[in-house]
Each structure stands twice: as structure tokens, then as C-alpha cells.
Amino acid sequence: MAKIGINLSTGSLQQEEMIVGIDLGTTNSLVAIIHPESKKPVALKEHGTSSLVPSIVHFDAFGNPIVGEEAKHYLETEPENTIFSAKRLMGKNYNDLKANADFFTYKVIDDGTDNLVKVQVGDSFYSPIELSAFILKELKQRAEHILKTPVTKAVITVPAYFNDTQRQATRDAGKLAGLDVLRIVNEPTAASLAYGFGLDQSEEKTIALYDLGGGTFDVSILTISNGIFDVLSTNGDTYLGGDDFDQLIVKHWLNQLQLPYSVVEKDKHLSQVLRLKAEEAKKILSSQPYYKTADTSIVNQLSALMDKSASFDNDLLHLPISLEQFEALITPHLQKTIACCEAALSDAGIAKQEIDTVVMVGGSTRVPLVKKLVGAYFGKPVNDTVNPDEVVALGAAIQADILAGNNKDFLLLDITPLSLGIETMGGLMEVLIPRNSKIPARVGKSYTTYKPGQSGMRISVYQGERDLVKDNRLLATFNLTGIPAMPAGLPKVEVSFLLNADGILVVTAKELRSGIQQSIEVKPQSNLTDEAVEQMLQDSIIHAQADIEARAITEAKTEGEQLITATERVIEANQSIMTEAEIALTKEAIELLASAIKNATNKNDIRSRIEHLNDITRPLAEKIMDEAVRKAMTGKKILP
């Protein structure tokens, strides 16, 4: 039971160990708690401000991060130093993002590999984990300022479709921000909790969650039974949201004024102002049938752009739009979201009549037409009584309260107190079962060999929260031997962890092509005191910054070494089509990278040289491709 104390300076009640709920969103993020007096979930906000913190990180001239509303101002003026939508990058490699590369106005590194993406700002390279950590740090500081108490524990929400890598990335971001992440909760589960669903253990329900935010749309179908949430299916469009509505309104106005879009595109200030006006119009149209602006400065600005010889309706300069016009504009988008609902239902194997409740999440569900169409589709009125911007964070706060043991109706399930994982290249810890996972748990991950003809693989099992295995507890180690000789990267070794209800961990490694396997049993909790667990957790937070830097250096070194080997092989095989100057330039870049790998004390030195070598080899790769195509073509004979 968390203790409640009184803050002597303010006289306010405070909980000693406040666990906060955090909605780390694509567009906005926020923190919520269970109010110590009312016992109701509330979103935290400073007096007279919004609870929403834009999920935007701007780096100033000295490379210092600025987060939130202030950072938003730089979106248009310094797009290359202002990172928005970092959540879209979590746990992704460049290939995952390639199709939408134009969306990002900052530099996302294309390294042509499967490695997790990095963002470059000036001379610095950031992982999405670090970027998210800046946002979480800001949220933590705000919460501490408002609550006047340290905040060290949190529940963070993620989309239901996030995979293990993305969830682990979110945990790591929390740790880096100085937060002990007690649980990662699915956003639809949190939203359901905020509506009180699932709190009554006897309740059985099937729920559809319709989440339309600023930039993304998600629909999830979930069932609740015995207080357990099960996400049956998810669907959506990761590039559809309220921002698109704003853009449609801007285009509508320009159409009316017969101004080409290119005029506005060139003028960043004007385009920013128009976008803000469009958002204002959209919000007003949620409660009124008509919008026009009284802002004379934008009217004058537009007037200056107009062709003076042509006659036009002066009223159009006031950017009018009716509800009817707005609804006509957005209807095709909304129809797309309904098609997603249909697909989600079909994947879940559920008829829409079986949905008991439809819940609205995300700021854009304030648009009345959204509620009307979704309600009509499911054949029942939608649930929209909880603030759709806050509903996910409020649910996270409820989950946090349950974890704090404050909600006596909930039985806490058995959980593992520390993460379990294995050692990967460079002595890094790879977590397979994160701490606080429910027991029993089963997880499997695939690995491959590093060297050609490698016949064995050493599996070392560790327990703990640190990034380098040397700082964690070694539980067991064994060798998988007899892997048939194959080129590096071809064998597929699946390592699975099975933690059973008695706390016994069975680790199995199996090479899938040959079928050879080896396994071992350990008891992670033996000889582990509560104090030792507490100490390991504290150490992981204290050393989070140094650990992540050490991990980043090790990863950069491994990547750099692999790139050198691959490039050397390419030079070797393609000497005939490379000029001497090209070979010399490439070798020089290899040398530079090799010396950085040997001597660098920070990841940016290695990353910048990886990027340099990539820049040099990129045109080369095209040349090699062209040559290969030419050879293939000349080899072909056309039959008479």
C-alpha cells in the first residue's frame, strides 16, 4: 500500500510513491495519476495550460533539446533540427520506413541495412529511444513540478500492434529518462480501463476502439473476460488523422481563392498560419455550423497575393467554410476508416452486432461526423464521455494504481522481478522476458551465425536491467554444437525461454535447418534477495545514460566492422569496373572508419564515418547494379 503524506510547504496531500500513467503519443503525450483525494484519474496540467505536451524535440544551436509546445514553433522554420513523430521510428529499420521517407522533414539515416534507424541532427546521431527519452524526461519533470514529489515509476502505453522490439524500445526510453517502467500497456486496454470496463471481474464484453488522432488512425477489437484483456485484432492507417483534415481545409480555401498551392508552399510563414487557421476552423466546426476569421493580418496577407485585375469575392479572404463543406471534404477519409473497422472485425472473426461497446479515442473523434458515421456503422451510439485526448493516459493511471496495490479488487498476478535475456555481439544484453512480465511466460527469438562455417554457438543467459551483460547476473551458459557448415547468416537458431509457474526457466536453442537442439534449466530467483533486486533496479536507472552510450558505441562498432568487411568484399569483386580514384577514396573511408572503431569514445564519431563510407559506396552500388544488368542483358539471346 502506497503511503500518503502531507507536503509541508504547500499543505497538499501527496503519495510517497506515485506511479504515473503516461500516454507517449505520436503527436501529443501526457501524464495522468489517480488523485490521492478523489481517487479518480486526472491528467496533470499546470494552471491555465493544456495537459497535452506535443511529442516534438527541437535541438537548439548548442544541441540542447527543447521539448513540447516551444519545440513546435520550430517545425516550419528549422525542420532539420526539429523531430516530430519519433514514435513512428521506434524499433524500425530504414526499409520499414522507405515508402514514407518524404514524410520526415529531418534526416533519417539510410544505411541500407536492417539495423534500427538513427536520426542525424547536425553532427549528432540519435536513436528513436533517445528521442522518446527526451519527451519522457520532460513529462517526468513536469509531473514532479506539479506534484512536488519525485516521480520514478511509470506505466507507459503503446499501440496494440507494437512488436517486442518496439515495446522494449519504449521501456528503454523510460529507463533513459530515469523512469522505472512497471508495465507497458496496450492503448486500447488503457482506454477501456478509463471507461471502467474490465474493473468488474465478472464482466464479459467485446469492445471496438476507434482511435483517430492527429496523424494516425487505429481500430482495435478486444474482449474482456475475468478482468483479462485480449486484443483480437487491430487495423488502421498510420498516415491518416486530423492533420489531413487541416490540409484539406487549406486546399479548399486556396481553391476558392484560385491561388495555386505552390504560392503557399514557398512561403513557410503563410503556410504555417493557414494550417493553424484550418485547425481553428475544424475545431469551431465541431460545435458551430460556420467559420470565418476576423484576423485582419491574414486577410491583408492574402489580399496582397491576389491578382488585382481579377474580380473576386472579398469575403473569401476571410477564409470561410461551412460545416457542410468540411464534412464533404473529410467524408472519403472517414469512409476509409470504416473500411478498416470492417477489416478488423473480419480478422477478429466477429460480426459487428456482437460488439457491445464502441469507444472513441483521439482528438479527431470530436468531429461530430466521425461519431455519427462510426455509430451508424456499428448500429449503436458511441462512448465519448471521457476526454478523447486524455482517455489513454487516464487508463494508464488506473493500471498504475492497480500495480501499486491500491485497488484491492485486483489480484496481482505473479511476475518476474528482473529481466531475463541472453548475451549478443559485443557483450550486450538482449532481453527476452522483460521484468514485470506475467508468469508463466514463453518467448522465442531467432539468431544466426556471424562467421562462415561456424559450427557452434554459445548461449549465455543473464538476469538484470543493465545494457552490458558484465553488469548483470550470469545464470547459465551452454554451447549449441554441431551446426552444419553454412555461410554466415544462413543458419537459423531459435532461442526460446519458458518461465513456468514455479519460477523455473527452461532455455532451449534449436538450429531450425538441421533440427539440432540443446537446453538447460535454471532457477533465476534462487539466492536473490529483495534488496539485491532493488539495488539492481536502482543501478540500472543511475547508469542508464552511460549504459545506453556504451550500447550505442558497441552497436556502432559492430555495424562499422560489418560494413568494412562487406565493402572490402565489394572492392575485391568489382575491381574491374571501379576507377583507381574510386578504389582509393573507398579505402581511405574504410581506414577512417577502422580508426574510429579502434579509438572512438563516442558513437557520433563512428556513426559519422559509417555515414561517410555509405555516401561514397552508394553511387558505386548503382554502378555495380548497372553492370550486372548489362551483363545479364548481353548474355540473353532472343530466339528467332
Nearer to ligand AMP, 175 or 366 (CB): 366
In the three-class reduction of DSSP (H, G, I as helix; E, B as strand; rest coil), residue 543 is classed as: coil
Give min distance, CB of 48 to ligand AMP, in A. Answer: 18
Distance CA 488, CA 453 (A): 7
| Beta bridge pairs of residue 124 | 121
> Active site includes 230?
no
Give min distance, CB of 106 to ligand AMP, in A. Answer: 20
Give min distance, CB of 375 to ligand AMP, in A. Answer: 17
Handedness of CA 164, 605, 108, 87 (dihedral sign): positive
In the three-class reduction of DSSP (H, G, I as helix; E, B as strand; rest coil), residue 460 is classed as: strand
For residue 159, state whether it binds ligand AMP (rule: CB under 6 A). no
What's the per-residue H, E or C state across 230-247? EEEEEEEECCCCHHHHHH
Applying CB under 6 A, among 15, 22, 24, 27 the residue interacting with ligand AMP is 27
Nearer to ligand AMP, 41 or 213 (CB): 213
485: left (phi over 0), alpha (psi -120 to 50) or beta: beta
Query: E strand or H helix at 424, and its extent?
Result: strand 420-424
Question: 598: which 3 cell numbers?
Answer: 579502434
Give min distance, CB of 232 to ligand AMP, in A. Answer: 23
One character per residue 198-217, x = contact with ligand AMP (rule: CB under 6 A) = ---------------xx---
Question: 370: which 3 cell numbers?
Answer: 466521425
Q: Which stretch binds ligand AMP (CB under 6 A): 169-177, 279-287, 494-502, 579-587?
A: 279-287
Distance CA 211, CA 133 (A): 24
Applying CB under 6 A, among 28, 234, 416, 567 the residue interacting with ligand AMP is 28
Distance CA 40, CA 116 (A): 40
Of these residues, 111, 130, 172, 211, which one is catalytic? 211
In the three-class reduction of DSSP (H, G, I as helix; E, B as strand; rest coil), residue 138 is classed as: helix
Task: Give the DSSP per-residue string, 258-293.
Answer: T--HHHHHH-HHHHHHHHHHHHHHHHHTTT-SEE--
For residue 280, state whether it binds ligand AMP (rule: CB under 6 A). no
Task: Give the DSSP per-residue string, 477-498.
Answer: EEEE--PPP--TT---EEEEEE
Question: 483: which 3 cell numbers?
Answer: 551446426
Q: Which stretch binds ligand AMP (CB under 6 A): 115-123, 359-367, 446-454, 536-544?
A: 359-367
Cis ω before 440 (30° cut-off from 0): yes
In the three-class reduction of DSSP (H, G, I as helix; E, B as strand; rest coil), residue 62 is classed as: coil
Applying CB under 6 A, among 279, 295, 539, 549 the residue interacting with ligand AMP is 279
Nearer to ligand AMP, 371 or 435 (CB): 371
Applying CB under 6 A, among 252, 366, 551, 557 the residue interacting with ligand AMP is 366
Nearer to ligand AMP, 191 or 422 (CB): 191
Distance CA 162, CA 3 (A): 34
Per CB under 6 A, which of residues 286..305 are in contact with ligand AMP? Answer: 286
Question: 414: which 3 cell numbers?
Answer: 505473479
Nearer to ligand AMP, 53 or 483 (CB): 53
Distance CA 569, CA 575 (A): 10
Nearer to ligand AMP, 368 or 484 (CB): 368
Nearer to ligand AMP, 103 or 478 (CB): 103
Give min distance, CB of 335 to ligand AMP, in A. Answer: 18
Q: Which stretch binds ligand AMP (CB under 6 A): 170-178, 276-284, 292-300, 530-538?
A: 276-284
Give min distance, CB of 220 to ligand AMP, in A. Answer: 15
Of these residues, 111, 138, 172, 187, which one is catalytic? 187
Applying CB under 6 A, among 65, 159, 362, 560 the residue interacting with ligand AMP is 362
**Other Cβ atoms closer than 10 A to 240:** 21
Of these residues, 87, 140, 282, 371, which one is catalytic? 87
DSSP-derived letter for residue 172 is H
> Active site includes 265?
no
Nearer to ligand AMP, 214 or 395 (CB): 214
Give min distance, CB of 127 to ligand AMP, in A. Answer: 23
First vs last Cα of the chain: how many Å apart?
87
Q: Which stretch binds ligand AMP (CB under 6 A): 21-29, 109-117, 183-191, 530-538?
A: 21-29
DSSP-derived letter for residue 390 is T
Give min distance, CB of 263 to ligand AMP, in A. Answer: 24
| Beta bridge pairs of residue 291 | 321
> Active site includes 502?
no
Go through the chain and tell me how many residues it has.
640
In the three-class reduction of DSSP (H, G, I as helix; E, B as strand; rest coil), residue 406 is classed as: coil
* Cα radius of gyration rounded to whole Å, the chain: 28
Give min distance, CB of 330 to ligand AMP, in A. Answer: 10
For residue 242, state whether it binds ligand AMP (rule: CB under 6 A). yes
> Active site includes 200?
no
Nearer to ligand AMP, 174 or 363 (CB): 363
Q: Which stretch binds ligand AMP (CB under 6 A): 6-14, 236-244, 322-330, 603-611?
A: 236-244
| CA 67 to the chain's CA centroid | 16
Distance CA 165, CA 547 (A): 18
Question: 501: which 3 cell numbers?
Answer: 509457474
# chain residues binding ligand AMP, by CB under 6 A? 18
For residue 364, state whether it binds ligand AMP (rule: CB under 6 A). yes
Task: Give the DSSP per-residue string, 183-197.
Answer: EEEEHHHHHHHHTTT
Give min distance, CB of 266 to ligand AMP, in A. Answer: 25
Alpha helices by DSSP H, listed for 285-415, are 296-305, 323-348, 368-378, 391-403
Give min distance, CB of 41 to ligand AMP, in A. Answer: 17
Per CB under 6 A, which of residues 381..420 are in contact with ligand AMP? Answer: 389
For residue 282, state whether it binds ligand AMP (rule: CB under 6 A). yes
Q: Interface with ligand AMP by CB under 6 A: which residues?
A: 25, 27-28, 213-214, 241-243, 279, 282-283, 286, 362-364, 366-367, 389
Q: Which residues are catalytic?
A: 23, 87, 187, 211
